[in-house]
Amino acid sequence: MPSADLPPPHASPAPSGPATPNLLDVDIGGTFTDAFVVLGGRQATGKSPTTHADLSDGMFAAIGEAARRLGRQPADAFAAADVVKYSTTVGTNALIERTGPKVGLITTAGQEDTIHVARSRSWADGMPLEVQIDRTRARRPDDLVPRSLRVGVRERVDCFGTVLMPLSADDVLAAVDHLVRQGVRAIAVCLTWSFMNPAHEQQIREIVRDEYPDSVLGRCPVLLSSEVAPKLDEYRRSITTILSAFLAPDTEEHVIDLGHRLRSAGCRKPLLVARNIGGVASASRTTALHLLGSGPVAGLAGAARMASDYGLDRVITADMGGTSFDVGLVLDGQDRNYEFDPVIDRWRVHLPVIANYSIGAGGGSVAFVTDAGELRVGPRSAGSMPGPACYAQGGTEPTVTDADVVLGYIDPDYFLGGAMPLSRRLAERALRRRIADPLGIDATEAALRVRRLIDGVMGQEIYRQTALEGHDPRDFTMFAFGGAGPVHAADVAAYSDVETVATFPHGSELNAYGVATMPVMQTYERTRMIELFDGEAHTDAAGAFNEMVDGLVELAERDMAEEGFGAGSVALRLELDMSYGGQHHTVRLESPRMRLGGLADVAAVCDAFNAVFADAYGAGSIHPYGGILVQLFRLVASASGSQLTDRPRLAAAPAAAAAGGENRPEAREVCWPGSGPALTPVYERGRLPVGFSTEGPALVSDVDTTVAVPGGWHYELDDHRTGWLTRTGARP
């Protein structure tokens, strides 16, 4: 079991002086909204069902619950807050259900069908493996922007940024007039080679604002591809800008309304938004697309902090909430492992998203029998309303949570510490009617099959993200969190060959804690091809290289200054996407030099690229004789030395005194896969002493979750009240 030099466990640590910031950190999931609150140096968490009609209602309820646990009124928490950070699912449903606003596209004349032609594999993007294999079932996604809302304007810029044909203002006026008459609520502008020279895109935005001010057109965002995704690849640049425009109206309206509500509640600090590219930033520096998947990325950030505290360099996160199961990797203590070609919903986008893989496998995932008589679970979720059948809110479809209740893993009288009682009777009825009767089995067997299926699906996803990426799953520690994560962790680990699992106090709110650990950060990307090695000698590329870097640094310093950080409190990191000549795929490396002073610095960058390439593909794969090229510059600016950058440790709740001295476990019947029903001891985690250990089968219950310890697994509680599951006979 790992050890670490952590502070002593405490639920509410004593204040550590006036420098300790008061934090309000919130993560909105598909089913529950979680809050992590620090007031006067003391921590507490809160939970509330996600209120999809108005997400801020659930947010305020969760913060209020956490404040009351600290003996404070919610109004006190808002008035005292030094930092308010927020990750949200707003926009996700609009994208999934295609219920967003009408978006118009203005592009270079002749390029109107680029997004329709798309890429050759667009039919497979975002689809499950079985659909990708069976091409007869594949369908391309419908265009987000129909042909009638795609208009071209006369202009031309070449690949060097030189204007070959000036922009026709008359074309722009005609295009905007056409889109306005069609009722668009957002406009995406994507002109060819605009990332090399954005002048024409900027001119279009000025024309729109001059001719159609908000007083005439209303709130209609105009997004430019040269600002949203200033990189090569017209299709992905267009799609990224269109998706941002599709999500912008509702997202911006929600964030603005939330800011007003926070101020009305007495909060005087600006709202910072967690982003899927890492870090938090003000709403004005965040696009709507940055918010998709920001919650799981926040959980990954929190896991990285915990991994650092425990000295672990190989961690896989298994976040099982009510709606989804999210998997991420922490490698060498870093959570910023980026996807080079990410897919959002059904589209490949130009966004440096932190790698995090989500599948529809949560506690609320609906189980059903297909017309062919096959049992399936997910990806559709019952959500928070009506939720699983056992919630007794009108839901009639069986879910994973219903199966866990029927099998005995979840105590229906102690769900969320008894604050939300569940109905075992309704869970059994849903499983019997929808699963058991069609398959000719009883409700218990139906629940077992649902659990085995969902655990196998989640285990397969973990195995895919480790073994199939060249890692040995046995080298990883699984961090299981989310409300349903510890309930399924051991069985999921068994399916994926992981041998050690960590479960945490307040684990179901770990994403909200992760939001608290995310620094204020901005990223900037620009495409520019610069040859550093021509196949025979290093080139004199310092001037062009430094010009690109200086431009990015200027942007970073300007934006971070507007966030309240001077140049002395901003850390800069330069990343480069590089390739050998004639190769399409790139490798990203952190540049050993921020600026190049001469040939020696050029050689240092080339040597670093050769080393990274060899590490990825083998020493025999390097080929500098074809030339070494920089394809893309990426600058990451992070704030430091401020209340906004403090990264709190998650304090554990202390063990409560056991009534009557000895802590005797309760027992209830649990039906374990492979072994059947068994009277199983149930330990209350808050009453267990440090160092407690037991062999499975056993259950360790907490207010917000339950740790299932199957036979063949060992459970131990460390000094910081982290519960460790270890497979019996695992490697030493």
The string of pLDDT tens digits covering residues 382-392 is 877 788 999 99
Residue 659 has pLDDT above 60, yes or no: no
What letter would DSSP give residue 334? B
pLDDT band at 17 (very low <50, low <70, confident <90, very high): very low
If one counts the domains in the chain, the total is: 4
Integer CA distances (angstroms), 61 to 395, 648, 696, in order: 23, 23, 37
Shared domain for 117 and 180, answered yes or no, is: yes
pLDDT score at 683: 94
CA distances from 389 to 32, 428, 548 (A): 16, 9, 57
Q: Which residues contact 613 (CB under 8 A, 6 or more apart)?
A: 580, 587, 621, 622
Residue 186 tokens, joined: 């957002």
DSSP string, 403-430: HHHHHTSS-TTSGGGGTS---HHHHHHH
Of 155-169, 222-236, 410-424, 540-554, the range with the lowest mean pLDDT is: 410-424
From edge to edge, which strands make up the β-sheet containing 587-590?
521-533, 628-639, 570-580, 587-590
Cβ atoms 274, 87 nearer than 8 A = yes
Looking at residue 650, its pLDDT comes to 67
Please tell me the distance from the alpha carbon of residue 229 to that of residue 662, in angstroms, as a whole number: 62
Handedness of CA 208, 209, 211, 215 (dihedral sign): positive
Which two structure tokens, joined as six digits, stand for 365? 């995932």
pLDDT at position 4: 42
Tokens representing 64? 């209020």
DSSP conformation letters of 559-624: HHHHTT--GGGEEEEEEEEEEETT----EEEE-S-SS--SHHHHHHHHHHHHHHHHHHH-GGG--G
Whether residue 665 is predicted with pLDDT greater than 80 in this model: the reply is no
Examine residue 721 and state whether it is found in any structural domain, yes or no: no
Running DSSP on this structure, what letter comes out for residue 8? P
**Mean local confidence (pLDDT), 112-126:** 81
Please report whether residue 227 resides in a domain.
Answer: yes
Please state, rounded to an integer, the average pLDDT across all residues of the chain.
86
Q: In what order do the strands lie in the sheet with 103-108?
A: 150-153, 103-108, 186-190, 222-224
Q: CATH number for the domain including 576?
A: 3.30.1490
Instruction: Tell me, yes or no, whether 110 and 243 share the same domain.
Output: yes
Residue 524 predicted with pLDDT over 80: yes
In the structure encoding, which two tokens stand for residue 129, read together?
């493996």
Q: Residue 375 pLDDT more than 60?
A: yes
- Confidence band, pLDDT 50/70/90 cuts, at residue 730: low
Of 206 and 129, the one with more pLDDT: 206
- Tell whether the model's pLDDT for residue 702 goes beyond 50: yes
Cα–Cα distance, 685 to 665 (Å, whole number): 10
The answer as to whether 303 is a domain residue is: no
Distance of alpha carbon 594 from alpha carbon 333, whole angstroms: 23
Residue pair 194/225 in contact by the 8 Å Cβ criterion: yes
Specify if 430 maps to a domain.
Answer: yes
Range with the lowest mean pLDDT among 125-134, 301-310, 445-454, 690-699?
125-134
Indicate the pLDDT class of residue 641, thresholds 50, 70 and 90: low
* Domain end point (choices 418, 453, 488): 453
Question: What's the whole-number mean pLDDT along residues 170-192?
Answer: 93
269 and 392 in a single domain? The answer is no
Check which CATH number belongs to the domain holding 37 and give it.
3.30.420.40
Does residue 271 lie within any of the structural domains? yes
- Look at residue 59 in the predicted model and tell me its pLDDT: 93
Q: Which of 11-15, 16-20, 272-276, 624-628 has the lowest mean pLDDT?
A: 11-15
pLDDT band at 10 (very low <50, low <70, confident <90, very high): very low
Pairing of strands 706-709, 698-701: antiparallel
32, 430, 523 from 272: Cα distances, Å: 20, 42, 15
**Residue 440: what pLDDT?**
94
Using CB atoms within 10 A of its CB, is residue 401 exposed (0-12), middle (13-18) or buried (19+)? Answer: buried
Same structural domain, 134 and 210: yes
Amino acid occupying residue 82: D
Residue 373 is classified by DSSP as S
* Domain end point (choices 594, 624, 639): 639
Is residue 507 domain-resident?
no
SS3 252: helix
CA gap 423, 411 in Å, rounded? 10
**Residue 116, domain CATH:** 3.40.50
Q: Indicate whether 103 and 82 sit together in one domain.
A: no
Span 418-430, mean pLDDT?
A: 91
Give 500's strand partners.
477, 726
Same domain, 194 and 266: no
Closest CA to 701 of 414, 507, 481: 414
| Domain co-membership, 88 together with 106 | no
133 in the same domain as 62: no
**Which residue matches tokens 């006369």?**
154
Choose one of 453, 482, 501: the last residue of a domain: 453
Token digits of residue 494:
């068994």
Q: Is pLDDT at 267 greater than 60 in this prediction?
A: yes
- 182 and 49, same structural domain? no
pLDDT band at 577 (very low <50, low <70, confident <90, very high): very high
Q: Are residues 126 and 77 in the same domain?
A: no
434 falls within a domain: yes
The gap from C-alpha 179 to its chain's centroid, in whole angstroms, comes to 34
Instruction: Give the domain extent around 572.
Output: 522-639
Tokens coding 311: 């000295």
Same domain, 58 and 145: no
Q: Which amino acid is at 243?
A: L
429: tokens are 């009825």
pLDDT of residue 651: 67
Residue 332 lies in a domain: no
Residues 408, 531 within the same domain: no
